[in-house]
Amino acid sequence: MGSTSAQGWYLLAFICGFTLGPAGLYALGWPVALVGFGLLAVSFAGFRSLKEPAGGAVGQAERAPAGVAARPVNSILRRES
């Protein structure tokens, strides 16, 4: 499963925030730390907004539509004669 562009940007914001926050606390100063923690907050909020809500009941398995025939998992490996 691939990732979307939004997921990539929020990951970049998380990595930058995770780097700048502690670096600001340790050596670079409070303004840098606040920018870093702000980026962390943006990334957390962004990842929460990307999460897809569950469509059915909790724990209910997704089923294929009635018109879709079931195939064995290894059907790709078999040669059709």
Residues 6+ apart with CB under 8 A from 29: none
Q: Which of 40, 38, 51 is nearest to 7 (CA)?
A: 51
User: How deeply is 18 buried, as exposed, middle or buried, from its count of CB atoms within 10 A (0-12, 13-18, 19+)?
Assistant: middle
pLDDT tens-digit profile of 54-66?
554 455 555 656 6
Reported as a pLDDT band with limits 50, 70 and 90, residue 2 is confident
Q: Which residue has the higher pLDDT, 33 or 4?
A: 33
Q: Report the predicted TM-score, pTM, of the whole model to 2 decimal places.
A: 0.59
Residue owning tokens 């340790």? 26
Quick: pLDDT tens for 24-69.
999 999 999 999 999 999 999 998 888 766 554 455 555 656 666 6
